Structure 1
Amino acid sequence: MNITPENPSEPTGLKWLKILVAVLTVTLIIGFLTIVGMFVYRFNSIGDSPVLSPLPDEISLPQGTEIDAFTQAEDWYLILTSENELLIYDRQTNELTQKIKIQNN
């Protein structure tokens, strides 16, 4: 004797669970494709950075100055000294254009 009904009805929440799983699957796929697309976009734009003019062979610093950090942009370069001073040089003329003393509070 078979007691299984011929048209078994689904449990109440099963329909909504199937819809939720489908929506979350689509969301996951879209998110993954977005991340892959962003990686491709960023790696393709790496070579588009501006070409900087070469730095001079020598930079004349004040006597006794020790360099802690260096950074550069298209038209200037900056040196942070161990005396907490920022020395900003013009990239074209290699002359010191600004000197900023950093105060420790």
Structure 2
Amino acid sequence: MEQQLNALKSNKEVEVLQQRTDDDPFISGLRDLQEGLARLQSVKIDESGLHAVTFDRKAYPPEHRIKPKRKLIVVLGLVLGLMLGVFLAFFRNFLENQRRESGEGVKE
């Protein structure tokens, strides 16, 4: 008899669950989100006192055009390229000497 009553009770619960159309009360964290949303919507901001940009002074165009200094760029490029080439030559010579010295040490 108790089994039948339990079965009927569980059937009623199943029916109620099937008839439910809104699961909002059972969503975890929903209430906290709703409270946060209500708090944010209740904040009133006075937009008349807000200024996105302030100007210190009027902008004026320069008196003469600013352009890249081509001669300086070419000279710096040549000097830096020469320095890099000399460094690589010394480094390569150093590596060849290391190989030669390590090779002679193994043969002896």
Question: Which TM-score applies when normalising by structure 1?
Answer: 0.34
> Greater strand share, 1 or 2?
1
Larger Rg: 2
Higher RCO structure (Cα 8 Å, ≥6 apart): 1
